[in-house]
Amino acid sequence: MTISFKDKVAIVTGAGGGLGKAYALELAKRGAKVVVNDLGGARDGTGTSDAAAQVVEEIKAAGGEAMANGGSVTEYEQMVEMVAKAKEAWGGVHILINNAGILRDKSFAKMEMPDFNLVLQVHVMGSANCTKAVWDTMRDQAYGRILMTTSSTGLYGNFGQANYGAAKLGLAGLTKTLHLEGAKYNVRVNSIAPVAGTRMTEDIFPEGLFAQFTPENVVPAALYLVSEDAPTNMIIGAGGGGYHAAYVTMTPGVALREDERTVEGFAAAWDKIIDRTGETVPQSGGEQSMAVMKALQALG
């Protein structure tokens, strides 16, 4: 089986280097026409460069089709313009990989709130801006594949990255709602939690491991998640040749009788509340309410 992206138009943000560049190169190699978006800034978001244009030249030199875009994902109108140019050149947009991101790492005690806000603006609002810019096009053409970039920091936590963790778990939540809203229009939305040696992680990786976790090892998972046969509403971890799925689960829990609904009653039921035996993976928020109602009905 060969997975092709022939006749598909893809936008990859943050594609001037690292993961985004690796995604863009492989998409183009497999036949996609690629918009290489990158402001060209440093990993803290400062400065600009012609990184996107360099990737486009590399794609064209290999016989592919691509265009550079230097718009900022934090500026919605710039993302709307980017989508319009892609549609004018190639007729549509079928794939969006929200990869752009920055880091402003400090412990929460030392973090300045402008740094907290900027990280959320780039990761959360940047992804929302790009997704909103393509959303109507994907609905109208009854085809869309969107990939959000979450992180182990968002899913599980990491010291010194409160801003980044808040943003990355927020993107997993955005994925879960957009997959519901896009389902009837064949718009599938997934999240990837990559582990890769890039300029974003070069001083985080233990010495000796950086070279083992190349961006190219994340590419198979990312491109499958935006392929025609992609699943939807998945969180996939990828790095160094290892791949796994992550889930948000819910335990069966307990229903307390009215006279047990006290702080002490809750404490007494704690072990049953957190017992994971029979836990489920809800597909929408409504399942929490349904589970509570079912448990209360069982009380008689």
* Structure token digits, residue 127: 């992804």
Query: pLDDT tens digit string along 121-180?
Result: 999 999 999 999 999 999 999 999 999 999 999 999 999 999 999 999 999 999 999 999
Q: At what angle do helices 162-182 and 113-120 cross, to 10 degrees?
A: 30
Cβ-contact 66, 58 below 8 angstroms: no
Identify the sign of the CA torsion 171, 177, 182, 186: positive
Query: pLDDT tens digit string along 46-65?
Result: 555 689 999 999 999 999 99
User: CA 118, CA 130: separation in Å to the nearest integer?
Assistant: 17
Q: Cβ atoms within 10 A of the Cβ of 206, count? A: 6
Cα 74–Cα 79–Cα 82 angle in degrees, nearest 5: 145
Whether 3 shows a pLDDT value over 90: the answer reads yes
Residue 156 is a catalytic residue: no
Q: Cβ atoms within 10 A of the Cβ of 290, count? A: 11
Query: pLDDT tens digit string along 79-133?
Result: 999 999 999 999 999 999 999 999 899 999 999 999 999 999 999 999 999 999 9
pLDDT at 222: 98
Domains in the chain, CATH or no CATH each: 9-246 (3.40.50.720), 258-298 (no CATH)
C-alpha dist (Å) from residue 28 to 24, 87, 144, 162, 297: 6, 17, 17, 35, 55
Helix count and strand count (H, E) for the chain: 11, 8
User: CA 235, CA 168: separation in Å to the nearest integer?
Assistant: 12
Set 164, 185, 243, 247: catalytic member: 164
Q: What is the reported pTM? A: 0.93
CA neighbours closer than 13 Å in the CB half-sphere of residue 175: 30
Cβ-contact 14, 100 below 8 angstroms: yes
pLDDT at 8: 98
φ/ψ of 87, rounded to 5, equals -65, -40
pLDDT at 45: 54
pLDDT at 299: 86
Whether 235 shows a pLDDT value over 80: the answer reads yes
| pLDDT range class, residue 203, cuts 50, 70, 90 | low
Q: Cβ atoms within 10 A of the Cβ of 153, count? A: 21
User: CA 171, CA 175: separation in Å to the nearest integer?
Assistant: 6
Whether 280 shows a pLDDT value over 80: the answer reads yes
Whether 42 shows a pLDDT value over 60: the answer reads no
Look up residue 87 and give its DSSP letter: H
Whether 269 shows a pLDDT value over 80: the answer reads yes
